[in-house]
Amino acid sequence: MKKKIAHIITDLDIGGAEVMLLKTLRNFKSDEYEHFVVSLKPMGSVGRTMRDEGFRVYALGLNKYNFVPSFARLLYIFKKEKPCIIHSYLFHADIFGRIAAKLINIPILISSLRSVELGGRLRGTLLKMTDFCVEAVTTVSEEVARVHIAKGTAKKEKVRVIHNGVELKGYRRDGSFSLKRKMGIEDGAFALLTVGRLEEVKGHIFLIKALELLRKRGYIFKALIVGRKDYKDKLQKEIVDRSLEDKVILTGERKDVHELLAIADAFVLPSLWEGLPNVLLEAMAAGLPVVATRVGGIPELITDNETGLLVEAKDNDALAEAIERMIKEPGLRERLGHNAGDYVRKNFDIKRTVSETEELYRELLREHEKD
Protein backbone atom coordinates (compact mmCIF):
# COMPACT_ATOMS: atom_id res chain seq x y z
CA MET A 1 0.00 0.00 0.00
CA LYS A 2 1.27 3.45 -0.90
CA LYS A 3 2.14 5.84 1.89
CA LYS A 4 0.07 9.02 1.81
CA ILE A 5 1.74 12.43 1.86
CA ALA A 6 -0.40 15.48 2.66
CA HIS A 7 0.83 18.79 1.27
CA ILE A 8 -0.80 21.71 3.10
CA ILE A 9 -0.36 25.25 1.79
CA THR A 10 -1.91 28.60 2.66
CA ASP A 11 -3.37 29.27 -0.79
CA LEU A 12 -3.11 28.10 -4.40
CA ASP A 13 -3.12 31.35 -6.33
CA ILE A 14 -0.07 32.03 -8.50
CA GLY A 15 3.02 32.48 -6.36
CA GLY A 16 6.46 30.98 -5.93
CA ALA A 17 5.62 28.34 -3.31
CA GLU A 18 2.37 27.40 -5.04
CA VAL A 19 3.95 26.94 -8.47
CA MET A 20 6.88 25.08 -6.95
CA LEU A 21 4.51 22.64 -5.26
CA LEU A 22 2.74 22.03 -8.58
CA LYS A 23 6.04 21.34 -10.35
CA THR A 24 7.18 19.04 -7.57
CA LEU A 25 3.93 17.04 -7.68
CA ARG A 26 4.25 16.68 -11.44
CA ASN A 27 7.69 15.17 -11.11
CA PHE A 28 7.18 12.71 -8.26
CA LYS A 29 7.74 9.37 -9.98
CA SER A 30 8.10 7.00 -7.05
CA ASP A 31 5.39 4.36 -6.59
CA GLU A 32 5.98 4.53 -2.84
CA TYR A 33 3.76 7.57 -2.23
CA GLU A 34 0.29 8.91 -2.89
CA HIS A 35 0.06 12.72 -2.70
CA PHE A 36 -2.85 15.02 -1.98
CA VAL A 37 -3.04 18.77 -1.35
CA VAL A 38 -4.95 20.92 1.14
CA SER A 39 -5.25 24.68 0.57
CA LEU A 40 -6.40 26.71 3.55
CA LYS A 41 -7.94 29.35 1.28
CA PRO A 42 -10.18 28.92 -1.81
CA MET A 43 -8.96 26.86 -4.76
CA GLY A 44 -7.03 29.46 -6.81
CA SER A 45 -5.67 29.10 -10.34
CA VAL A 46 -2.78 26.80 -9.36
CA GLY A 47 -5.21 24.55 -7.46
CA ARG A 48 -7.45 24.31 -10.52
CA THR A 49 -4.43 23.35 -12.62
CA MET A 50 -3.55 20.65 -10.08
CA ARG A 51 -7.06 19.23 -10.30
CA ASP A 52 -7.01 19.38 -14.10
CA GLU A 53 -3.77 17.38 -14.03
CA GLY A 54 -5.30 14.70 -11.84
CA PHE A 55 -4.14 15.62 -8.33
CA ARG A 56 -6.56 15.50 -5.42
CA VAL A 57 -7.00 18.98 -3.93
CA TYR A 58 -9.08 20.10 -0.96
CA ALA A 59 -9.79 23.82 -0.52
CA LEU A 60 -10.99 24.90 2.92
CA GLY A 61 -12.06 28.43 1.97
CA LEU A 62 -10.52 29.91 5.12
CA ASN A 63 -11.32 33.52 5.94
CA LYS A 64 -11.40 35.60 9.13
CA TYR A 65 -14.99 34.51 9.87
CA ASN A 66 -14.67 30.72 9.59
CA PHE A 67 -11.40 29.89 11.35
CA VAL A 68 -12.87 27.18 13.64
CA PRO A 69 -14.98 25.40 10.97
CA SER A 70 -12.01 25.45 8.57
CA PHE A 71 -9.69 23.94 11.14
CA ALA A 72 -12.32 21.32 12.02
CA ARG A 73 -12.60 20.38 8.35
CA LEU A 74 -8.82 20.09 8.13
CA LEU A 75 -8.84 17.65 11.05
CA TYR A 76 -11.64 15.68 9.36
CA ILE A 77 -9.65 15.45 6.11
CA PHE A 78 -6.52 14.25 7.86
CA LYS A 79 -8.48 11.69 9.91
CA LYS A 80 -10.10 10.38 6.72
CA GLU A 81 -6.95 10.32 4.58
CA LYS A 82 -4.56 9.12 7.33
CA PRO A 83 -1.33 10.56 5.87
CA CYS A 84 1.94 9.36 7.38
CA ILE A 85 3.63 12.69 6.53
CA ILE A 86 2.34 16.26 6.44
CA HIS A 87 4.51 18.65 4.43
CA SER A 88 3.51 22.28 5.04
CA TYR A 89 4.25 25.41 2.99
CA LEU A 90 3.89 29.09 4.00
CA PHE A 91 3.31 30.44 7.47
CA HIS A 92 -0.41 29.90 8.12
CA ALA A 93 -0.31 26.38 6.71
CA ASP A 94 2.78 25.70 8.83
CA ILE A 95 0.91 26.58 12.02
CA PHE A 96 -2.31 24.77 11.03
CA GLY A 97 -0.31 21.71 10.00
CA ARG A 98 1.76 21.61 13.18
CA ILE A 99 -1.24 21.80 15.50
CA ALA A 100 -3.32 19.34 13.47
CA ALA A 101 -0.52 16.79 13.34
CA LYS A 102 -0.19 16.79 17.12
CA LEU A 103 -3.92 16.69 17.80
CA ILE A 104 -4.54 13.60 15.68
CA ASN A 105 -1.14 11.92 16.08
CA ILE A 106 0.20 12.14 12.56
CA PRO A 107 3.78 11.02 13.14
CA ILE A 108 5.81 13.23 10.81
CA LEU A 109 5.45 16.91 9.98
CA ILE A 110 7.88 18.68 7.66
CA SER A 111 7.78 22.46 7.73
CA SER A 112 8.97 24.41 4.69
CA LEU A 113 10.56 27.84 5.24
CA ARG A 114 10.91 29.69 1.96
CA SER A 115 12.04 33.22 2.79
CA VAL A 116 14.40 35.03 5.13
CA GLU A 117 11.43 37.13 6.32
CA LEU A 118 8.34 35.85 8.10
CA GLY A 119 6.26 39.03 8.27
CA GLY A 120 6.61 40.03 11.91
CA ARG A 121 7.92 39.07 15.34
CA LEU A 122 4.69 37.29 16.35
CA ARG A 123 5.11 34.81 13.53
CA GLY A 124 8.63 34.02 14.68
CA THR A 125 7.38 33.47 18.23
CA LEU A 126 4.67 31.09 17.02
CA LEU A 127 7.18 29.06 15.01
CA LYS A 128 9.43 28.76 18.07
CA MET A 129 6.50 27.74 20.29
CA THR A 130 5.39 25.00 17.87
CA ASP A 131 8.83 23.68 16.95
CA PHE A 132 8.22 20.59 19.13
CA CYS A 133 5.62 19.50 16.53
CA VAL A 134 8.17 19.38 13.71
CA GLU A 135 10.40 16.49 12.64
CA ALA A 136 12.22 18.39 9.89
CA VAL A 137 12.42 21.85 8.35
CA THR A 138 13.19 22.28 4.67
CA THR A 139 14.58 25.57 3.37
CA VAL A 140 15.01 26.65 -0.23
CA SER A 141 18.51 28.08 0.20
CA GLU A 142 21.51 28.04 2.50
CA GLU A 143 20.86 31.68 3.38
CA VAL A 144 17.27 31.00 4.43
CA ALA A 145 18.57 28.16 6.63
CA ARG A 146 21.27 30.37 8.15
CA VAL A 147 18.84 33.19 8.98
CA HIS A 148 16.22 30.96 10.60
CA ILE A 149 18.78 29.04 12.64
CA ALA A 150 20.20 32.37 13.85
CA LYS A 151 16.72 33.65 14.75
CA GLY A 152 15.83 30.42 16.53
CA THR A 153 12.83 29.79 14.27
CA ALA A 154 14.42 26.53 13.11
CA LYS A 155 16.81 24.18 14.91
CA LYS A 156 20.02 23.36 13.09
CA GLU A 157 19.66 19.62 13.56
CA LYS A 158 16.22 19.65 11.93
CA VAL A 159 17.11 21.75 8.88
CA ARG A 160 17.54 20.30 5.40
CA VAL A 161 18.31 22.60 2.46
CA ILE A 162 16.45 21.50 -0.67
CA HIS A 163 16.79 24.08 -3.41
CA ASN A 164 13.94 24.93 -5.71
CA GLY A 165 14.22 23.39 -9.15
CA VAL A 166 13.04 24.17 -12.63
CA GLU A 167 11.45 22.07 -15.36
CA LEU A 168 14.02 22.37 -18.11
CA LYS A 169 11.82 21.75 -21.16
CA GLY A 170 10.00 24.41 -23.14
CA TYR A 171 12.49 27.29 -23.03
CA ARG A 172 13.64 29.02 -26.21
CA ARG A 173 15.21 32.27 -27.29
CA ASP A 174 13.46 32.78 -30.65
CA GLY A 175 10.65 35.01 -29.49
CA SER A 176 7.49 35.69 -31.46
CA PHE A 177 7.60 38.87 -33.56
CA SER A 178 3.82 39.18 -33.28
CA LEU A 179 3.99 38.97 -29.47
CA LYS A 180 6.61 41.73 -29.44
CA ARG A 181 4.28 43.90 -31.48
CA LYS A 182 1.34 43.05 -29.24
CA MET A 183 3.34 44.06 -26.15
CA GLY A 184 4.34 47.36 -27.79
CA ILE A 185 8.04 46.54 -28.19
CA GLU A 186 9.13 48.49 -31.24
CA ASP A 187 12.07 47.56 -33.48
CA GLY A 188 15.38 48.44 -31.86
CA ALA A 189 13.94 48.80 -28.34
CA PHE A 190 15.66 46.90 -25.54
CA ALA A 191 13.10 44.58 -23.91
CA LEU A 192 13.28 44.20 -20.12
CA LEU A 193 11.14 41.77 -18.18
CA THR A 194 10.36 41.30 -14.49
CA VAL A 195 7.82 38.88 -13.04
CA GLY A 196 6.44 38.79 -9.50
CA ARG A 197 3.59 39.86 -7.26
CA LEU A 198 3.08 43.63 -7.31
CA GLU A 199 4.04 44.15 -3.68
CA GLU A 200 6.42 46.55 -2.00
CA VAL A 201 8.84 43.76 -1.09
CA LYS A 202 9.43 43.01 -4.77
CA GLY A 203 11.19 46.36 -5.20
CA HIS A 204 9.39 47.51 -8.35
CA ILE A 205 9.56 51.12 -7.20
CA PHE A 206 13.37 51.02 -7.37
CA LEU A 207 13.23 49.51 -10.84
CA ILE A 208 10.95 52.33 -11.98
CA LYS A 209 13.38 54.91 -10.53
CA ALA A 210 16.25 53.18 -12.34
CA LEU A 211 14.30 53.23 -15.60
CA GLU A 212 13.73 56.97 -15.21
CA LEU A 213 17.51 57.43 -15.11
CA LEU A 214 17.87 55.36 -18.30
CA ARG A 215 15.14 57.39 -20.01
CA LYS A 216 17.00 60.60 -19.17
CA ARG A 217 20.16 59.09 -20.68
CA GLY A 218 18.32 58.57 -23.94
CA TYR A 219 18.01 54.80 -24.06
CA ILE A 220 15.21 53.20 -26.05
CA PHE A 221 13.61 50.39 -24.10
CA LYS A 222 10.37 48.75 -23.10
CA ALA A 223 9.94 47.25 -19.63
CA LEU A 224 7.24 44.66 -18.97
CA ILE A 225 6.26 44.31 -15.30
CA VAL A 226 4.24 41.11 -14.95
CA GLY A 227 2.25 40.29 -11.82
CA ARG A 228 -1.02 40.56 -9.96
CA LYS A 229 -2.26 44.11 -9.55
CA ASP A 230 -2.42 44.47 -5.76
CA TYR A 231 0.09 47.36 -5.82
CA LYS A 232 -0.83 48.61 -9.28
CA ASP A 233 -2.21 52.08 -8.52
CA LYS A 234 0.91 53.23 -6.67
CA LEU A 235 3.20 51.85 -9.36
CA GLN A 236 1.13 53.40 -12.14
CA LYS A 237 1.37 56.79 -10.43
CA GLU A 238 5.15 56.45 -10.23
CA ILE A 239 5.27 55.54 -13.91
CA VAL A 240 3.24 58.62 -14.86
CA ASP A 241 5.12 60.95 -12.49
CA ARG A 242 8.42 59.86 -14.05
CA SER A 243 7.18 60.17 -17.66
CA LEU A 244 7.56 56.46 -18.35
CA GLU A 245 4.08 55.73 -19.73
CA ASP A 246 5.46 54.83 -23.15
CA LYS A 247 8.31 52.75 -21.72
CA VAL A 248 6.83 50.69 -18.86
CA ILE A 249 3.80 48.39 -19.05
CA LEU A 250 2.05 46.80 -16.07
CA THR A 251 0.74 43.68 -17.81
CA GLY A 252 -1.14 42.13 -14.90
CA GLU A 253 -0.98 38.39 -14.32
CA ARG A 254 -0.14 36.38 -17.44
CA LYS A 255 -0.01 32.69 -18.28
CA ASP A 256 2.50 33.05 -21.14
CA VAL A 257 5.61 33.85 -19.09
CA HIS A 258 7.69 31.36 -21.12
CA GLU A 259 6.78 33.27 -24.28
CA LEU A 260 7.63 36.60 -22.64
CA LEU A 261 11.01 35.22 -21.56
CA ALA A 262 11.63 34.36 -25.21
CA ILE A 263 11.08 37.94 -26.42
CA ALA A 264 13.01 39.67 -23.62
CA ASP A 265 16.61 40.86 -23.92
CA ALA A 266 17.25 40.79 -20.15
CA PHE A 267 15.49 39.91 -16.92
CA VAL A 268 15.50 42.09 -13.79
CA LEU A 269 14.62 41.10 -10.21
CA PRO A 270 14.81 44.12 -7.85
CA SER A 271 13.47 42.36 -4.71
CA LEU A 272 14.11 43.61 -1.17
CA TRP A 273 14.21 40.03 0.12
CA GLU A 274 13.76 36.56 -1.32
CA GLY A 275 14.21 32.88 -0.60
CA LEU A 276 15.27 31.27 -3.87
CA PRO A 277 13.01 32.81 -6.52
CA ASN A 278 11.52 30.40 -9.05
CA VAL A 279 11.12 33.12 -11.64
CA LEU A 280 14.87 33.80 -11.56
CA LEU A 281 15.54 30.11 -12.11
CA GLU A 282 13.17 30.18 -15.09
CA ALA A 283 14.80 33.27 -16.60
CA MET A 284 18.24 31.71 -16.27
CA ALA A 285 17.02 28.38 -17.68
CA ALA A 286 15.73 30.34 -20.68
CA GLY A 287 19.26 31.68 -21.25
CA LEU A 288 18.34 35.25 -20.35
CA PRO A 289 20.99 37.53 -18.84
CA VAL A 290 19.76 38.65 -15.43
CA VAL A 291 20.20 41.59 -13.08
CA ALA A 292 19.14 40.89 -9.50
CA THR A 293 19.56 42.16 -5.97
CA ARG A 294 21.99 40.57 -3.56
CA VAL A 295 19.36 39.28 -1.11
CA GLY A 296 18.31 35.93 0.34
CA GLY A 297 19.38 32.93 -1.71
CA ILE A 298 19.96 34.89 -4.92
CA PRO A 299 23.79 34.84 -4.56
CA GLU A 300 23.52 31.04 -4.48
CA LEU A 301 22.17 31.33 -8.02
CA ILE A 302 24.16 34.24 -9.38
CA THR A 303 27.89 34.79 -9.27
CA ASP A 304 28.38 38.45 -10.12
CA ASN A 305 29.64 39.02 -13.66
CA GLU A 306 29.63 35.26 -14.35
CA THR A 307 26.02 34.08 -14.30
CA GLY A 308 24.40 37.50 -13.94
CA LEU A 309 24.86 40.93 -12.40
CA LEU A 310 24.20 41.58 -8.70
CA VAL A 311 23.36 44.92 -7.11
CA GLU A 312 22.39 45.99 -3.60
CA ALA A 313 18.68 46.19 -2.79
CA LYS A 314 17.05 49.66 -2.88
CA ASP A 315 19.96 51.09 -4.94
CA ASN A 316 18.29 52.42 -8.06
CA ASP A 317 21.54 54.03 -9.27
CA ALA A 318 23.37 50.69 -9.21
CA LEU A 319 20.35 49.00 -10.81
CA ALA A 320 20.35 51.56 -13.62
CA GLU A 321 24.08 51.06 -14.20
CA ALA A 322 23.70 47.27 -14.39
CA ILE A 323 20.82 47.52 -16.88
CA GLU A 324 22.81 50.09 -18.86
CA ARG A 325 25.68 47.59 -19.14
CA MET A 326 23.22 45.02 -20.47
CA ILE A 327 21.95 47.47 -23.09
CA LYS A 328 25.40 48.62 -24.20
CA GLU A 329 27.26 45.30 -24.18
CA PRO A 330 25.68 42.53 -26.32
CA GLY A 331 28.73 40.33 -25.72
CA LEU A 332 28.14 40.56 -21.97
CA ARG A 333 24.49 39.61 -22.41
CA GLU A 334 25.40 36.61 -24.51
CA ARG A 335 28.05 35.38 -22.07
CA LEU A 336 25.93 35.85 -18.97
CA GLY A 337 22.87 34.24 -20.55
CA HIS A 338 24.88 31.24 -21.74
CA ASN A 339 26.54 30.76 -18.35
CA ALA A 340 23.23 31.17 -16.50
CA GLY A 341 21.54 28.51 -18.61
CA ASP A 342 24.40 26.05 -18.14
CA TYR A 343 24.51 26.63 -14.38
CA VAL A 344 20.78 26.11 -13.84
CA ARG A 345 20.62 23.03 -16.06
CA LYS A 346 23.49 21.41 -14.14
CA ASN A 347 22.41 22.34 -10.61
CA PHE A 348 18.70 23.17 -10.40
CA ASP A 349 16.81 20.52 -12.35
CA ILE A 350 13.42 19.84 -10.72
CA LYS A 351 14.30 16.13 -10.74
CA ARG A 352 17.03 16.83 -8.21
CA THR A 353 14.58 18.72 -5.97
CA VAL A 354 12.14 15.80 -6.12
CA SER A 355 14.85 13.19 -5.48
CA GLU A 356 16.10 15.02 -2.38
CA THR A 357 12.54 15.47 -1.10
CA GLU A 358 11.71 11.78 -1.53
CA GLU A 359 14.94 10.80 0.20
CA LEU A 360 13.96 13.01 3.16
CA TYR A 361 10.58 11.23 3.32
CA ARG A 362 12.31 7.82 3.34
CA GLU A 363 14.78 8.89 5.99
CA LEU A 364 12.09 10.20 8.35
CA LEU A 365 9.90 7.14 7.83
CA ARG A 366 12.81 4.82 8.61
CA GLU A 367 13.53 6.74 11.83
CA HIS A 368 9.85 6.61 12.80
CA GLU A 369 9.66 2.84 12.20
CA LYS A 370 12.67 2.34 14.49
CA ASP A 371 10.82 4.16 17.26
Within 10 A of 1 (CB to CB), how many other CB atoms are there?
4
Q: 52 pLDDT exceeds 70? A: yes
Is residue 83, in this structure, part of any structural domain at all? yes
Is residue 116, in this structure, part of any structural domain at all? yes
- What is the per-residue pLDDT for 371? 66
The answer to whether residues 159 and 181 belong to one domain is: no
Pairwise CA distance, residues 169 & 353, whole Å: 16
Q: 178 pLDDT exceeds 80? A: yes
Q: Which range is least confidently modeled, 106-120, 172-186, 190-204?
A: 172-186
Pairwise CA distance, residues 151 & 300, whole Å: 21
More confident residue, 365 or 177: 365
Q: Residue 101 phi/psi, 5° resolution?
A: -60, -40
Average pLDDT over residues 204-210: 97
Q: What is the mean pLDDT of the chain?
A: 94
Query: Which CATH number fits the domain that encloses residue 122?
Result: 3.40.50.2000
DSSP-assigned states of every residue in 155-184? -GGGEEE----B--TT--S---HHHHHHTT
Average pLDDT over residues 211-221: 97
The answer to whether residues 143 and 206 belong to one domain is: no
Q: At what angle do helices 316-328 and 204-216 cross, to 10 degrees?
A: 60
The answer to whether residues 119 and 242 belong to one domain is: no
- What is the per-residue pLDDT for 208? 97
The answer to whether residues 144 and 200 belong to one domain is: no
Average pLDDT over residues 14-34: 91
Is residue 361, in this structure, part of any structural domain at all? yes
The answer to whether residues 289 and 201 belong to one domain is: yes
More confident residue, 88 or 176: 88
Is residue 271, in this structure, part of any structural domain at all? yes
Is residue 365, in this structure, part of any structural domain at all? yes
pTM over 0.75: yes
% of the chain at pLDDT higher than 70: 98
Give pLDDT tens digits for 232-265: 788 999 999 999 999 999 998 888 898 999 999 9
For 244, residues 6+ apart whose C-beta sits below 8 A from its C-beta are: 208, 211, 212, 215
State which residues form the domain around 298.
177-347
- What is the per-residue pLDDT for 29? 82
Pairing of strands 290-293, 309-311: parallel
The answer to whether residues 40 and 92 belong to one domain is: yes
State the burial class of residue 132 (Cβ atoms within 10 Å of its Cβ: 0-12, 13-18, 19+): exposed
Is residue 360, in this structure, part of any structural domain at all? yes
The answer to whether residues 342 and 302 belong to one domain is: yes
Is residue 172, in this structure, part of any structural domain at all? no
The answer to whether residues 64 and 185 belong to one domain is: no
More confident residue, 104 or 176: 104
Average pLDDT over residues 197-210: 95
The answer to whether residues 47 and 157 belong to one domain is: yes
Measured between alpha carbons, how far is residue 30 from residues 6, 8, 25, 325, 357 in Å?
A: 15, 20, 11, 46, 11
What's the Rg (C-alpha) of the chain?
21
Domains in the chain: how many in total? 2
Pairwise CA distance, residues 213 & 205, whole Å: 13
The answer to whether residues 103 and 144 belong to one domain is: yes
The answer to whether residues 271 and 357 belong to one domain is: no
Q: H/E element holding 237?
A: helix 232-241
Pairwise CA distance, residues 295 & 275, whole Å: 8
% of the chain at pLDDT higher than 90: 85
Is residue 41, in this structure, part of any structural domain at all? yes
- What is the per-residue pLDDT for 54? 95
Q: Mark 60-93 as b/e (b = at least 16 C-beta within 10 Å).
A: bebeeeeeeebbebbeebbeebebbbbbbbbbbb
The answer to whether residues 129 and 238 belong to one domain is: no
